[in-house]
């Protein structure tokens, strides 16, 4: 017995490096970051006196930007999750060469280069870009539309396009174990295609849909590169405000407080999405 216990203990030692990475490079920095959010800065030095002034400032000055960020991120997350479901369902239900082709395209875009994609969208949506040239060429508009680029719409387009492969894979992963022939039985017994989808498919993939939603929402809410590169000066998301506290303004405590306020809001939105999905995507 002693030997077995010692062996288990020795085996658990293998976890030590991973715990060191998770603890030392993730949990401890996060906790310290939370502590710093209660400090303040004076003459570029941290003042170690806990107070709520940063949060008070966010409450009075930044509720608007937080709401705006949550709104635009929720829009991106909803659109991404819906489209991801359509593509994942297509891959799953087809299962033939078409399905494999779509799955391959999804996997290949997964690691396609974040900044490069943003650059490509800039050239696509710009005044001289392909979208405007096509619109003018087809005489759909007389002059190029400037608002395609440097607008909230551009931020939504770019982020949805970037996030789709990350959302498709978990949803497809959840659909894959469902046997299409078991659903044919329901169809044979007279269930409508929509009925099968609602009662037999959607309730089984709620966790994957939530993963897709949460991932899309969190990445959007924490992004500052996309709004800066394609959003124009009017699209200021929380990521931009947070990032500027670590660049020009050098106010780490305020930046930390902004981060945790945004994270808390994100958790609330994701919890609401979870409750919503559990309520509406349930077998009747």
- Report the residue number, 45 or 181, with the smaller CB distance to other proteins: 45
Q: Is 189 in the site for other proteins (CB under 8 A)?
A: no
- Cα–Cα nearest to 123, from 112, 110, 136, 132: 132
- Report the residue number, 231 or 255, with the smaller CB distance to other proteins: 255
Q: Is 147 in the site for other proteins (CB under 8 A)?
A: no
Q: How far is the CB of 36 from other proteins (least distance, A)?
A: 6
- Report the residue number, 173 or 279, with the smaller CB distance to other proteins: 173
Q: Is 277 in the site for other proteins (CB under 8 A)?
A: no
Please name the residue that has the structure tokens 């993939």. Answer: 205
Q: Is 271 in the site for other proteins (CB under 8 A)?
A: no
CB atoms within 10 A of CB 131: 17
Cα separations in angstroms, 11 against 3, 71, 194: 12, 47, 50
Asked if residue 133 lies in contact with residue 213, where contact means CB atoms within 8 angstroms, the answer is no
Q: Nearest 5°: phi and psi at 35? A: -60, -45
Q: How far is the CB of 26 from other proteins (least distance, A)?
A: 5
Q: How far is the CB of 74 from other proteins (least distance, A)?
A: 15
Q: How far is the CB of 56 from other proteins (least distance, A)?
A: 21
Size of site (CB under 8 A) for other proteins: 79
DSSP 189-247: TT--HHHHIIIIIGGGGHHHHHHHHHHHHHHHHT--HHHHHHSTTT---HHHHHHHHHT
In the list 173, 186, 199, 274, the residue contacting other proteins (rule: CB under 8 A) is: 173
Binding mask 48-87 for other proteins (x = CB under 8 A): -----------------------------------x--xx
Q: Is 243 in the site for other proteins (CB under 8 A)?
A: yes
Q: Is 127 in the site for other proteins (CB under 8 A)?
A: no
Element (H, E) at 168: helix 152-175
Q: Is 194 in the site for other proteins (CB under 8 A)?
A: yes
Bridge partners of residue 42, in order along the sequence: 45
Listed ranges 51-59, 61-69, 129-137, 142-150: which one lies at the site for other proteins (CB under 8 A): 129-137
Q: Enter the tokens of residue 164.
A: 């789709």
Asked if residue 174 lies in contact with residue 84, where contact means CB atoms within 8 angstroms, the answer is no
In the list 77, 218, 269, 277, the residue contacting other proteins (rule: CB under 8 A) is: 218
Cα separations in angstroms, 140 against 124, 136, 149, 151, 281: 17, 6, 18, 20, 40
Q: Is 115 in the site for other proteins (CB under 8 A)?
A: yes
Please name the residue that has the structure tokens 């970051």. Answer: 33
Q: Is 14 in the site for other proteins (CB under 8 A)?
A: yes
């Amino acid at each position: 017995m002693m030997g077995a216990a010692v062996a288990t203990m020795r085996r658990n030692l293998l976890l030590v490096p991973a715990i060191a990475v998770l603890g030392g490079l993730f949990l401890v920095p996060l906790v310290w970051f939370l502590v710093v959010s209660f400090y303040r800065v004076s003459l570029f030095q941290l003042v170690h006196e806990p107070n709520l002034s940063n949060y008070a400032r966010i409450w009075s000055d930044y509720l608007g930007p937080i709401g705006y960020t949550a709104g635009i991120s929720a829009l991106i997350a909803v659109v991404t999750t819906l489209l991801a479901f359509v593509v994942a369902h297509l891959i799953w239900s087809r299962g033939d060469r078409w399905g494999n082709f779509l799955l391959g395209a999804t996997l290949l875009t997964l690691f396609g280069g974040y900044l490069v994609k943003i650059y490509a969208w800039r050239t696509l949506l710009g005044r001289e870009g392909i979208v405007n040239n096509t619109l003018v060429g087809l005489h759909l508009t007389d002059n190029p539309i400037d608002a395609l680029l440097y607008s909230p719409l551009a931020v939504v387009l770019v982020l949805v396009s970037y996030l789709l492969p990350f959302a498709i894979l978990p949803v497809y992963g959840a659909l894959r174990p469902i046997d299409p022939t078991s659903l044919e039985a329901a169809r044979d017994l007279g269930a409508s295609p929509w009925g099968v989808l609602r009662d037999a498919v959607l309730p089984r993939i709620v966790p994957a849909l939530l993963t897709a939603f949460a991932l899309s929402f969190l990445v959007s809410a924490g992004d500052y590169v996309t709004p800066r590169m394609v959003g124009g000066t009017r699209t200021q998301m929380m990521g931009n405000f947070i990032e500027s506290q670590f660049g020009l303004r050098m106010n780490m405590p305020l930046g930390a407080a902004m981060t945790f306020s945004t994270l808390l809001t994100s958790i609330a939105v994701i919890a609401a999405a979870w409750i919503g999905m559990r309520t509406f995507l349930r077998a009747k």
